[in-house]
Chain A
Amino acid sequence: MNIFYKICLLLLINSFACHSQIFVRAYHYRPTGDFGSVFKPGFSAEIGYMPKFEERLRVCVSATYMVMKPRRDAFPIVGIQQGTKTVILPGEDRFDKYNLLHLFAGIDVAIIKRKKFFAYLGTDLTVGVGSVDSRTEVKTLISEGYSGGGGIAGFRGRIGLQYNLTDHIGLIAHVNRTGYILTEPRTVNWFNDYGMGVRYHFGYR
């Protein structure tokens, strides 16, 4: 979490320094696929750099931090003991921590470009880190804990709308879909998010 705050601070300082444009977006995320069977939907925020559309293309950079909450305190799992007789051994998986820091960098391409209103498609590359604490227990077979994490690499696709209220302030709405690989423990995760935010231009147009 500290890394996230530092990145946000850096983005903010940079925005002031170069009379740039930042955005803050609150969003609701929904894990899908196997990821969705384990973690609850939740809320988070994203902060980043988002210039105005000079042409149809703009480059965006942002960061977000997600604290994933498991859908159960303990997930019932089984172990199979093969021998003269097969025995199904009961067990459980617990996730005490599953936090993700994503850094995004990508482009928005305006499909509709009016004076105040823009509709656009966006794609990002994402890198980051995941921090995971988990525990697996299967009676007489497995008793192991995991504490650590790994790197994140993936993509994000986006449909976005922007409406400029003034020369300085604009409203944005994004629907994103993100897919990424977490290197340790190795998983491929997907989630959708839906959110609205504010884009602010510190300098003069």
Chain B
Amino acid sequence: MKKYFFIWYIGALGLFLYSSCRKALKNVDDYLPKVHIVSAVIQNDGSVLVTGEIDSPGYSTVEYAGFCCNTVSQPDILNRQAIADVNGSTFTAVYQNFDVDSVYYFRAWATNDQGYAYGTELSLNQIIAPPVTPACSLVINKLDNGTGNATPYYAWVSAPVYSSQFWQFSALPQGQNTLYFKFGSQVTTGIYTTDDDHDPAAGHVFVEFNVGGSYRYLEPGTQVYVNTIGTDTFDITICNAPWKVGTSTTFSLNTRFQCPY
């Protein structure tokens, strides 16, 4: 009887001593995730693709990873917070809307059930997309709508205004009717495609104008070249864009102008 008691006693004690015996980590920072920024690359459309990497998940798995961004160093997690898409140990996010004259600081962060930690920081200045080269070479502030009534200049061009997920502006050529531009994404350096949809998708633009009392629009599929030439100022070129009167008569529009002007 005594023997059985001892066996039970030692077994129970061993089980108890072993339970939840996860040693505390020596460095308290090791409980939190460790991340760093791999790169921040300016894309053709002027956005910035930020890539980070998880060096260590910490005490448990990473729940969220992302970036924050500010024009001062050491941005807080709430500054332009971007929750990234995590793919294995890599995570990425895209930032848009930059002031060309500012320096931007990007900082990685990650969370697990122990809390959150910041990673390394990376700065970028003069965030501007590489210029695009139009397929044609035109004089600035000129419109030729293909009807034989070319105009030497624009009277004015308004600045793009954001409204209901679209960026819109209008351009008034001297002696002709106004052209209306509706972009499906923010106007910045890049090549956009004309669309016959009044609500164009991102990367597309709907261009409409009045001829002979009827509204016409540029046929879909033509490229519109936009270059940023200053803060919220753009050089826009359209080469050989077809538009129709009725179903058979087709004209070709060429223009280049500064927006706003």
List the A side residues contacting B31 at CB < 8 Å. Answer: 37
Inter-subunit contact B77/A90 (CB<8 Å): yes
Partner of B25, one of A37, A90, A179: A37
Bound form: Cα–Cα A72–B115 in Å = 12
- A86 in the interface (beta carbon within 8 A): yes
Inter-subunit contact A76/B22 (CB<8 Å): no
- B4 in the interface (beta carbon within 8 A): no
Q: How far is the CB of B35 from chain A (nearest CB, A)?
A: 14
- B111 in the interface (beta carbon within 8 A): yes
Inter-subunit contact A89/B24 (CB<8 Å): no
How many residue pairs link A and B with beta carbons under 8 A? The number is: 78
- B81 in the interface (beta carbon within 8 A): yes
Inter-subunit contact A157/B13 (CB<8 Å): yes
Inter-subunit contact B24/A76 (CB<8 Å): no
Q: How far is the CB of A180 from chain B (nearest CB, A)?
A: 11
List the A side residues contacting B22 at CB < 8 Å. Answer: 32-33, 36
List the B side residues contacting A190 at CB < 8 Å. Answer: 19-21
Bound form: Cα–Cα A41–B111 in Å = 26
- A201 in the interface (beta carbon within 8 A): no
- A177 in the interface (beta carbon within 8 A): yes
- B28 in the interface (beta carbon within 8 A): yes
Partner of A37, one of B9, B28, B77, B83: B28
List the B side residues contacting A121 at CB < 8 Å. Answer: 9-10, 13
- A37-B24, A37-B28, A139-B78 are known contacts. Are A157 and B115 too (CB-CB below 8 A)? no
Q: Which of A71, A90, A177 has the most CB of B within 10 A?
A: A90
List the A side residues contacting B19 at CB < 8 Å. Answer: 179, 190
Inter-subunit contact B116/A123 (CB<8 Å): no
- B59 in the interface (beta carbon within 8 A): yes
Q: How far is the CB of B77 from chain A (nearest CB, A)?
A: 5
B-side binding surface: helix, strand, loop or mixed? mixed
Q: How many residues of A contact B (CB 8 A)?
A: 30
Inter-subunit contact A177/B83 (CB<8 Å): no
Nearest chain-A residue to B12 (Cβ)? A123
- B199 in the interface (beta carbon within 8 A): no
- A48 in the interface (beta carbon within 8 A): no
List the B side residues contacting A112 at CB < 8 Å. Answer: none
- A155 in the interface (beta carbon within 8 A): yes
Inter-subunit contact B76/A90 (CB<8 Å): yes
Bound form: Cα–Cα A139–B12 in Å = 46
- B17 in the interface (beta carbon within 8 A): yes
Partner of A179, one of B13, B16, B76: B16
A33-B22, A76-B116, A88-B109 known; 17 other A-B pairs, CB under 8 Å? Answer: A32-B21, A33-B21, A37-B28, A37-B31, A41-B24, A75-B115, A77-B115, A78-B116, A88-B66, A88-B83, A90-B76, A139-B78, A157-B13, A157-B16, A157-B17, A188-B20, A190-B19
* Residue ranges of A at the interface with B (Cβ–Cβ < 8 Å): 30-33, 35-37, 41, 71-72, 75-78, 86-90, 109, 121, 123, 139, 155, 157, 177, 179, 188, 190, 192
* Residue ranges of B at the interface with A (Cβ–Cβ < 8 Å): 6, 9-10, 12-13, 16-17, 19-25, 28, 31-32, 59, 64, 66, 76-78, 81, 83, 109, 111, 114-117
